[in-house]
Amino acid sequence: MGRILVVDDHDSLRKGLVRALGNAGHDTEEAANGTAAIERLQDSQFDVVLTDLRMGGADGMDVLRTARKLQPNAAVILMTAFGSIHTAVEAMKIGAVDFVQKPFEIEEMELKIEKAIEIRHLKYQVDYLRTAQQDIYDFDRIVGASGALQQVLSIVKKVARSNSTILIRGETGTGKELIAGSIHHNSLRASKAFVKVNCAALQENLLESELFGHEKGAFTSADKQRIGRFEQADGGTLFLDEVGDMSANTQAKILRVLQEHEFERLGGTRTLRVDVRIIAATNRNLSQMVAEGKFREDLFYRLNVVSVEMPPLRDRKDDIGALAEFFVRRYATELKKKVDGIQPDALKVLMRHNWPGNIRELENVIERAVLLTDATVISISDLQIGDQQSASGSEKVPAIKIPPTGIALEEIERQAVLEALRMSNWVQKDAAELLSISPRVMNYKIKILNIEIPRSRRTLEPVAS
Ligand SMILES: Nc1ncnc2c1ncn2[C@@H]1O[C@H](COP(=O)(O)OP(=O)(O)OP(=O)(O)O)[C@@H](O)[C@H]1O
Ligand SMILES: [Mg+2]
């Protein structure tokens, strides 16, 4: 039931309505003229405002305008005398949800009020879901403080609200889809659809129907009309995932829509125009594919308007800790387990791993660890990643390979020191530990072997000499 404001200068009608609506379980208030109604709207919230159109002083239209401004979620229903249909139509344009012509049956009014309350309730739910969904895609919720990721985010924030086509490149599992979703949800198109198409999975023979839809009877199995992806995305964003995996034929068809913004449904005669923003993603090297003649150059230039490169996880080791903690929290909640952290040793193993599967791989490793662990903190044995054996030194595999042409011992040493440093995110103390030498010796080796520490790392580790 709802809170209703009844506004009418006709006393007996107003009192009658208040009584009937009160009996039906609503919580009512009354106002004998427009000015009094506007005052009520200023100090109290209503679900429904029921107002007469023609009153002395402030009239129903004034009440409507005030309600729209102060309480945009309140449903306004107008009561009009015979002959004022024209004004009622005007009122609907300003945002009244309904109108009733006098005289009316009280049951009719009750029905309209119930409907208005239900619609209002649905609207709340939609608003709630929309903000909840947006929250997932909020740029601030993308985990990672590393320079590499922040650089990506700064580009993306700048272009999100434009209509520019964006090409997101990066290895598998680096967060391409997450970024694409964030761009859409932070664009002016956020209230419209974000439609995904996996280009690698498009079957050649169903391609056109998938992208452009078809009319009933367009081909033997077309028993009903189908709306294609381009049409679904009208006003919103179309995410073309794995664009590097399209056949030449598919590339040509996609190019045509991108150039002309129009197409026909299969078996249809009407040409449809759509307003769609394109975001494409691929883990392939498209410019190399263009050079090799495997990807159309014209399509490449259409897609590569703004280009975003997702850094691989091994180049942003600084983010591993935060991401791992984030996934521990997520899976502890999801799996209802009391796990709240990672042991420092285990974190070190995570930092040393090479992460060919990037963030998705890290996510899977953590999910499994949270599931398997009996403790509240994840330890090395819960992690089960490939590097563990070498970390615990249990396997007797030779750590180096000597080429048949031979190699200088010093070169091997150099490579070993470099690799240890890389694995330790250039923290010398950790690299020393990996090679079982003291930090002092490590520091000496770096100097003697002429190893250059990347500029961004120099200030991190002031080394005692
Ligand atoms: N910065 C991040 N913060 C939190 N979660 C992330 C982040 N980046 C990626 N993820 C998560 O990692 C997983 C992989 O990301 P996503 O699917 O976006 O990668 P992708 O680049 O599209 O991978 P693929 O090339 O395999 O399709 C998802 O579960 C995603 O939510
Ligand atoms: Mg993806």
What are the contacts of 329-332 at 24+ separation with CB within 8 A? 331/366, 331/367, 331/370, 331/371, 332/370
Is residue 239 helix, strand or coil? strand
Q: What's the pLDDT score for residue 134?
A: 58
The minimum-distance atom of ligand 1 relative to the CA of 363 is 12
Residues in the ligand 1 pocket, defined by CB under 6 Å:
142-144, 170, 172-178, 283, 326, 359-360, 363
Q: Distance between CA 70 and CA 40 in Å, rounded? A: 11
The minimum-distance atom of ligand 1 relative to the CA of 177 is 18
363-406 residue pLDDT tens: 999 999 999 899 999 999 999 876 444 444 444 556 777 887 88
The minimum-distance atom of ligand 1 relative to the CA of 241 is 27
Q: Whose CA is nearest to atom 10 of ligand 1?
A: 175
- What one-character-per-residue DSSP string does 146-168 give? SHHHHHHHHHHHHHHTS---EEE
41: CA distance to ligand 1 center in Å?
A: 47
Q: Which of 359, 361, 363 to mutate to test the pocket of ligand 1 (most atoms within 8 A of CB)?
A: 359
CA 142 to chain centre: 10
Q: Residue 240 has which token pair? A: 């073309």
Please report, rounded to a whole number, the percentage of residues in the chain having pLDDT higher than 90: 49
Model confidence at 326: pLDDT above 90: yes
409: CA distance to ligand 1 center in Å?
A: 41
177: CA distance to ligand 2 center in Å?
A: 5
Q: What's the pLDDT score for residue 393?
A: 45
Q: Residue 418 has which token pair? A: 């470099």
Q: What's the pLDDT score for residue 131?
A: 59
Structural domains of the chain ordered from first start: 3-131 (3.40.50.2300), 143-309 (3.40.50.300), 314-392 (1.10.8.60), 409-458 (1.10.10.60)
Is residue 211 helix, strand or coil? helix
Q: What's the pLDDT score for residue 262?
A: 86
183-218 residue pLDDT tens: 999 999 988 889 999 888 877 777 788 888 988 888
Q: What are the C-alpha distances in Å from 233 to residues 33, 127, 143, 179, 197? A: 47, 20, 28, 18, 11
Nearest ligand to the CA of 168 is 1
The CA angle 227-164-138, to the nearest 5 degrees, is: 85
Q: Which of 138, 178, 310 to mutate to test the pocket of ligand 1 (most atoms within 8 A of CB)?
A: 178
Give residue for tokens 């005289």. Answer: 103
27-82 residue pLDDT tens: 999 999 999 999 999 888 899 999 999 888 889 999 999 999 888 888 999 998 76
Q: Residue 207 has which token pair? A: 């391609």
DSSP label of 136: H
Q: Which of 283, 360, 363 to mutate to test the pocket of ligand 1 (most atoms within 8 A of CB)?
A: 360
Model confidence at 461: pLDDT above 80: no
Q: Residue 61 has which token pair? A: 């239209």
Nearest ligand to the CA of 177 is 1
Question: What is the helix, strand, coil percentage profile of the chain, to 5?
Answer: 50, 15, 35
The minimum-distance atom of ligand 1 relative to the CA of 170 is 21
Q: What's the pLDDT score for residue 42?
A: 87
262: CA distance to ligand 2 center in Å?
A: 27
